[in-house]
A and B are shown apart, each in its own frame.
Chain A
Amino acid sequence: MAYSLDFGALAEYAPIFAKGVAVTSELTLVGGVLGVGLGILCAWVRTDGPKALRPIVSLYVEVIRNTPFLIQLFFIFFGLPSIGVSLTEMQAAILAMVVNLGAYAAEIIRAGIEATPRGQFEAGASLAMTRLQIFRNVVLVPALQRIWPALSSQIIIVMFGSAVCSQIAVEDITFAANFIQSRNFRAFEAYIVATVLYLILALILRQIMRSLGTIIFPRRRVVR
């Protein structure tokens, strides 16, 4: 079993990998920001928002968390056009990632909100703040701080999930690797490169989340 690695054979495909890195980064960045935003909104509804919306949000969260991402993606890309909503591959991929991350992030953030000491709500209330004002100014930031590591991991998981988007011809890293190995049959090399690229992106993303954390949360967590 002698297999000699030949990364030189990949050299001419470097631009395809470069494009793959750009696409995966874009998916993760846009999906991450919008997904966390959606997650905050859903977590608010489920904890403190209008009661009428709660069943709808619960249904959304449970459906997404209990079905495969690939099916969600296919549903959006192949299913929606039948009701007249046609999206490009990229739009469909981003929408699928936002919808997916939104549901998971909602549950993570909800855990952070529910761990808020009652005294924080009471302090806000006795200062005559409305429930929404208390949520925005008092509850939200410490809640995010509590679950920041879990949320960071979830965003990274979603970045890995983006590999699935190659199935609808989104030209991400996985797409690049598939494409190259189908041309030169250097599957081992192509997937080693893809693996390393994902690894590097994940490490960078983790670092970004950590730095972002120190900016948003200037104080270490105070346990009470």
Chain B
Amino acid sequence: MSLIAITEVRKRFGDNEVLKGINLDVAAGEVIAIIGKSGSGKSTLLRCINGLETIDEGTILVAGAQLAPDELHLRALRLKVGMIFQSFNLFPHLTAGRNVMLSPMVVKKVPAKEAQAEAQARLEQVGLGHKFDAYPDELSGGQQQRVAIARALAMKPLALLCDEITSALDPELVNEVLQVVGKLAAEGMTLLMVTHEMRFAREVCDRVVFMHQGRVHEIGPPEEVFGAPKTLELQQFLGIA
């Protein structure tokens, strides 16, 4: 059974239909890259999966939790999927450690001491154990993004959604973040990532989804999608047509 089941999902912003019937099943442990031009609906799809956007038709199921617009369903869903953003979105008034501790304490009522140990472990996992007491504005972009990953991991999600998580980074900082993600992938985390890092997608992902005009235009293992693109649109996108 798949961990994430997306069935016939449609999403409109006014008259503009951005998702035109998306079907996608993600197995536990699978790493999937979503590529496509801007405006193809890839970020919207990702944001629908944890309910940051509502959907107009179709269903999204994550490990039995269904996407529904009420807070109870949304929270049940969000306990199963974590999300990492392009702009990090760390809480500026809290230290790195406190950023990671906050949600376990507030949402899961984990005692402070336990949450602190967990935060320390998660920060070490992303190579930032020594930055527990640093504030976000004292960290580089790459470090901030790694803290954001640690913060998501502290909630012990079944899957992580990554929304262009290296797009706001200076080129020399991209690798440190990708390394962390690569390690997570190797450890069996289910990952769904919108990305422009084609090389990374090719090396790490099990499947690549090419989205075009609100549809899954092509899908397959990276060697197929990158090596032998079938459609003209994908060939154009990859710059080989």
Which residues on A are within 8 Å of B, measured CB to CB? 117, 119-120, 122-123, 125-131, 133, 137-138, 141-142, 145, 217-220, 222, 224
- Which A residues lie within 8 Å of B79 (CB)? 128
Contact B85 A119 (CB under 8 A): yes
Contact A126 B78 (CB under 8 A): yes
Q: Return the chain B residue nearest A136 by Cβ.
A: B106
A122 and B85: CB pair below 8 A?
yes
B83: A residues at CB distance < 8 A: 122, 126
Contact between A119 and B102, CB atoms less than 8 A apart = no
* Contact yes or no, B135 A219, CB < 8 A: yes
Asked if B85 and A128 make an inter-chain contact with CB atoms under 8 angstroms apart, the answer reads no
Q: A119 to B89, Cβ gap below 8 A? A: yes
* A119: nearest chain-B partner, CB-CB: B89
CB pairs A–B below 8 angstroms (27 shown): A119-B87, A119-B89, A120-B89, A120-B91, A123-B90, A123-B148, A125-B78, A126-B50, A126-B52, A126-B83, A126-B152, A127-B107, A128-B78, A128-B107, A129-B103, A129-B106, A130-B71, A133-B106, A138-B91, A138-B102, A141-B93, A217-B93, A219-B135, A220-B137, A222-B136, A222-B137, A224-B87
Distance in angstroms between the alpha carbons of A117 and B50 in the assembled complex: 19
- Across the two chains, which residue of chain A brings its CB closest to B99? A123
Contact B102 A131 (CB under 8 A): no
Task: Map CB proximity to A onto B131-154 as digits: 1 under 8 Å, 0 otherwise.
Answer: 000011100000000001001100
> B155 an interface residue at 8 Å Cβ cutoff?
yes
The size class of the interface chain B forms with chain A is 20 to 34
Question: How far is A123 from B88 in the complex, measured between Cα atoms in Å?
Answer: 9
Give 4 closest A-B pairs by Cβ, nearest first. Answer: A123-B89, A127-B103, A126-B83, A119-B89
- Say yes or no: B92 contacts A222, CB within 8 Å: yes
Q: Roughly how many angstroms separate A222 CA and B135 CA in the complex, as a whole number? A: 11
The contact string, 1 if C-beta is below 8 Å from chain A, for chain B 9-34, is 00000000000000000000000000
Residues of chain A within 8 A (CB-CB) of B182 are none
Interface of B (DSSP majority class): mixed
Residue B196 at the A interface, CB < 8 A?
Answer: no
Partner of A128, one of B52, B75, B91, B93: B75
B residues less than 8 Å from A119 (CB atoms): 85, 87, 89
Tell me if B82 counts as interface (CB < 8 A to partner A): yes
User: What is the minimal beta-carbon distance from B36 to any residue of chain A, in angstroms?
Assistant: 21
List B contacts of A131 (CB < 8 A): 71
- Please report the C-alpha to C-alpha distance between residue A117 and residue B102 in the assembled complex, in whole angstroms: 19
Alpha-carbon distance between A123 and B79 when the two chains are bound, in angstroms:
13
Residues of chain A within 8 A of B89, CB atoms compared: 117, 119-120, 122-123
Residue from B71, B74, B91 within 8 A of A123 (CB atoms): B91
Once the chains bind, are B102 and A127 in contact (CB under 8 Å)? yes
Shortest distance between the CB of B54 and any CB in chain A (Å): 13
Contact A219 B137, beta carbon cutoff 8 Å = yes
| Closest beta carbon of chain A to B26's beta carbon, Å | 17
Beyond A127-B102, A127-B151, 20 extra complex contacts between A and B, CB < 8 Å: A117-B89, A122-B89, A126-B52, A126-B81, A126-B82, A127-B82, A127-B103, A128-B78, A128-B79, A128-B107, A130-B71, A137-B102, A138-B91, A141-B93, A142-B92, A217-B93, A219-B92, A219-B137, A222-B92, A222-B137
Q: In the complex, which residues of chain B have a beta carbon less than 8 angstroms from the beta carbon of A220?
A: 137
Q: How far is the CA of A117 from the CA of B81 in the complex (A)?
A: 22
Given A120-B89, A123-B91: A130 in contact with B137 (beta carbons within 8 A): no
Of residues 45 through 71 on chain B, the ones whose CB sits less than 8 Å from some CB of chain A are: 50-52, 71
Q: How far is the CA of A224 from the CA of B77 in the complex (A)?
A: 29
B93-A142 in contact (CB<8A): yes
From B148, which residue of chain A is reached at the shortest CB distance?
A123
The residue among B79, B107, B151 with the most chain A CB atoms within 10 A of its own CB is: B107
Nearest A residue (CB) for B136: A222
